[in-house]
Amino acid sequence: MPTTVTVGPDGASYVGQLTGFPFPVGGANVYRVAHGQGPRIYASGFTNIIDIEFADDGTLYVLEIATDSLLAGGPGGLWTVPPGGGAGTRILTDPLLFPGGLEFGPDGALYITNLPIFPDGQVLRLDW
């Protein structure tokens, strides 16, 4: 099922997928949907995509609510996909616990909501 959509640097829509039960590890994709064309896989190998966002350089950031099956209760994960698509690289798991969304701020930092369904939820700021 689609969980997130963003517009890419090329003007196409990019859609992140959360697969259904039993949430197979590596079974979720990011699809590119250009006007007048059917969806095609842009990046694959994810498990539980919750949000996606492009950086200014065209790198796609993929946020997973959990890197294993949702039933396992493991940490979330942050991935990067190079411009043009292909295989992603996991760049962060700790301290991501059930993250809910990500957004680049005007300062260039990446902001991630962490533990959003709990009273002690957080907004994490990442800058490289």
User: Looking at residue 57, what is its pLDDT?
Assistant: 96
85-95 mean pLDDT: 92
Q: How confident is the model at residue 88 (pLDDT cuts 50, 70, 90)?
A: very high
Question: With 90 as the cut, is the pLDDT of residue 73 above it?
Answer: no
**Using one digit for the tens of pLDDT, what is the confidence trace for 41-59?**
999 999 999 999 999 999 9
Query: Among all chains, which residue has been given the structure tokens 């689609």?
Result: 2
- Give the chain's end-to-end CA distance (angstroms, integer): 32
Residues 52, 6: Cα–Cα separation, whole Å: 7
Q: Which is nearest to 86 in space by CA: 124, 46, 36?
A: 46
> Is a pLDDT exceeding 80 seen at residue 69?
no
pLDDT, position 23: 86
**Closest by CA position to 66, among listed 9, 18, 123, 6:** 18
Place of tokens 């680049």: 104
Q: Which amino acid is at 105?
A: G
Domains of the chain: 2-93 (2.40.10)
Cα separation, 29 vs 48, whole angstroms: 9
